[in-house]
Amino acid sequence: MTDNDLKRALISVSDKTGLLEFSRALVELGYGIVSTGGTYKELHENGIPLERVSDVTGFPEILDGRVKTLHPTIHAGILARTNDEHQQELKDRGIQRFHMVVVNLYPFEKVAAGEHSDVSELIENIDIGGPTLIRAAAKNHESVAVLVEPSQYKPVISELREKGELSLETRKRLAWEAFTRTAEYDAIISGTLRNALGIGEEFPERLVIPFRRIQALRYGENPYQKAAFYRDIFLTEPCIANSKKLKGKELSYNNILDMNATLEMVKDFDEPTAAIVKHMNPSGIASADNISEAFGKALGADPLSAYGGIVALNREVDANTANAMKKIFLDSIIAPSFHQDAMPILDKKKVMLLETGNLENVKKPNFDMKRVVGGILVQSRDLSTLDHSKLKTVSERAPTPEEMNDMLFAWKVVKHVTSNAIVLAKNAATVGIGAGQMSRVGSVEIAVKKAGGRAEGAIMASDAFFPFRDGVDAAGKAGVTAVIHPGGSIRDAEVLDAANEYGMAVVLTGMRCLRH
């Protein structure tokens, strides 16, 4: 048996999880191990026979460990094919092959997630040798197996014990996983340094955002569609992807869409607020002095549509709120926390519970993305708030303080309703919502119908201007007393005339808030 017939594994890992058990198994299977730095120390101190990389290369680690494995002897042993020409060249130069490369990378992600990490610390945790080894081994996967995660150790050892070698199919998959890992690693570095180095380009020419799968879903929007849920690893604010499931069934594709919409609604409110959503649109939203009252008002906005809905609260679920919730069938409840007195009540109910953590002032600037065939649309996240100093009362009658409060409440709601969006509200609660109609008057008519007699004395919010007076006429006939909308239509004067005829107060925001 020649030196190049000996099986050899190069191991250099930051995450030492499972390392000793895996290395012992390799030795039992006849592998020789070559290692570096901390990995060598860990294995050597635990009695595992191995060589140092520096003994193989005849070149010491230099520059505080920045250069360890970047050497022709190492990379030739990884990149050499099994053909006669390459093997003879290795023999002529006294280089031995590597059959396996086991590398996981410097913990850049953990350092980047630290609150006090500075640029120099980030730079020092950018791995150079590791990705180079991984890519070399993955490129030569016909001859070399490459492992980049501790979770790969057990299945690899099992296959080696069962078959004596790893199949080409296994090596192909390992290579793909390796290239995926280095691509993700570079994406994390790129995104982190963009902020750390003060690169101010809002929409860079190349957009690389790493996502990591949380779970495979049973199906997509429909049963014949496949789906999975991925998390943006840069986003740390409370959200569905970062929440903790306390009880209930597995999340579905449609669950996640509705939960996200519901949670984002209540994040916009400082007051105790509850939202109930079906198909990404609210059936009711309300604010109150306490969360139990807010939930009751939100439920009362449209009890029929709330059946089977998703509820989000921006305060802890207490026993009073839990008792109110147990009286209606709900799919899911999302909240910052659940009081210990509430859990026994909700444990008896078939409902999913998601805990998000504190929701006060948590929204952060970020990208919104929508997939279109052939690309993605990227825009800055809508974190807009009304500048009260720029609100303009244009009607003959000014709004009362109560009307103004309800208009400000309804404006926060209407930005979360699918355009064309109309919200009728009274006493910090929605009483009628019209969503997604092709004409604005159509949305007004739906909102008025939902409100019924509660439209009397309510205010109306519209996410964009009224192109004709018909929407205001429909609201005025139902008893709506005030309107808040962006303005900007060529028929604003006609719309205002209609409002004045009904004695409505009209406030212009000067900004629209469409949602598609």
Q: What is the pLDDT of residues 311-325, one digit of tens each?
A: 999 999 999 999 999
What is the DSSP-derived secondary structure letter of residue 456?
T
Asked if residue 380 has pLDDT above 90, the reply is no
First vs last C-alpha separation in the chain: 68
Buried/exposed code over 72-99 (b: 16+ C-beta within 10 A; e: otherwise)? ebbbbbbbbeeeeeeeeebeeeebbbbb
Q: What tokens appear for 216 in the block?
A: 């495979």
Please, what is the Cα angle at 188 between 138 and 144, to 5 degrees?
Answer: 10
For the chain, give the percent of residues with pLDDT over 90: 70
Number of H helices, E strands in the chain: 19, 21
Query: What's the whole-number mean pLDDT along residues 469-497?
Result: 97
Taking phi over 0 as left and psi of -120 to 50 as alpha, with beta for the rest, 280 belongs to: left
Cβ contacts of residue 183 below 8 Å, gap of 6+?
Answer: none
What is the DSSP-derived secondary structure letter of residue 396?
S
- pLDDT band with cut points at 50, 70 and 90 for residue 110: confident
Range with the largest mean pLDDT of 58-67, 200-209, 244-253, 292-301 = 292-301
The span from the CA of 127 to the CA of 66, in Å, is: 9
Please, what is the Cα angle at 26 between 21 and 29, to 5 degrees?
Answer: 130
Q: Do 138 and 157 contact (CB within 8 A), yes or no?
A: no
Domain range 3-196, its CATH number among 3.30.450.40, 3.40.50.2300, 3.40.50.1380, 3.20.20.100:
3.40.50.1380
* Domain over 251-355 is classified CATH 3.40.140.20: yes
Q: Do 468 and 441 contact (CB within 8 A), yes or no?
A: yes
The span from the CA of 160 to the CA of 154, in Å, is: 10
- pLDDT band with cut points at 50, 70 and 90 for residue 221: very high
Q: What is the pLDDT of residue 4?
A: 47
- pLDDT band with cut points at 50, 70 and 90 for residue 80: confident
Asked if residue 116 has pLDDT above 70, the reply is no
DSSP H/E element including 45: helix 37-45
Q: Do 71 and 54 contact (CB within 8 A), yes or no?
A: no
Tell me the H-state helices in 197-318. Answer: 253-267, 291-301, 303-306
3-state secondary structure of 483: strand
For 198, 318, 344, the CA distances from 244, given in Å and listed in that order, are 33, 18, 18
DSSP H/E element including 470: helix 470-478
- The verdict on whether 86 is a catalytic residue reads no
Asked if residue 1 has pLDDT above 50, the reply is no
3-state secondary structure of 274: strand
- Share the mean pLDDT of the chain: 91
Report domain 388-508's class: alpha beta
Q: What is the pLDDT of residue 3?
A: 45
Query: Each residue of 391-442: pLDDT tens digit?
Result: 999 999 999 999 999 999 999 999 999 999 999 999 999 999 999 999 999 9
Query: Of 7, 71, 86, 139, which residue is the catalytic one?
Result: 139
C-alpha 276, offset from chain centre = 21
Cβ contacts of residue 119 below 8 Å, gap of 6+?
Answer: 196, 197
Q: What tokens appear for 368 in the block?
A: 């919104």
Q: Do 430 and 284 contact (CB within 8 A), yes or no?
A: yes
Query: Each residue of 143-172: pLDDT tens digit?
Result: 999 999 999 999 999 999 999 999 999 999
Query: Of 245, 279, 349, 363, which residue is the catalytic one?
Result: 279
Tell me the H-state helices in 268-400. Answer: 291-301, 303-306, 319-325, 343-347
Q: What is the pLDDT of residue 65?
A: 66
- pLDDT band with cut points at 50, 70 and 90 for residue 482: very high
How many CB atoms lie under 10 A from the CB of residue 347?
A: 12
Q: What is the pLDDT of residue 235?
A: 85
How many CB atoms lie under 10 A from the CB of residue 66?
A: 11
Q: What tokens appear for 208 in the block?
A: 């690389």
The span from the CA of 99 to the CA of 90, in Å, is: 14
Query: What are the structural domain ranges in the chain?
Result: 3-196, 251-355, 388-508
Q: What tokens appear for 89 in the block?
A: 């060249």
Query: Each residue of 164-199: pLDDT tens digit?
Result: 999 999 999 999 999 999 999 888 888 887 777 777
Considering the entire predicted model, what is its pTM? 0.86
Lowest mean pLDDT across 8-12, 73-77, 346-350, 477-481: 73-77
Helix-strand-coil split of the chain, %, nearest 5:
40, 20, 40
- pLDDT band with cut points at 50, 70 and 90 for residue 53: confident
Of 106 and 33, more confident: 33
Asked if residue 111 has pLDDT above 80, the reply is no
Return the residue matching tokens 């997604």.
436
- The verdict on whether 388 is a catalytic residue reads no
Same fold, 251-355 and 388-508: yes
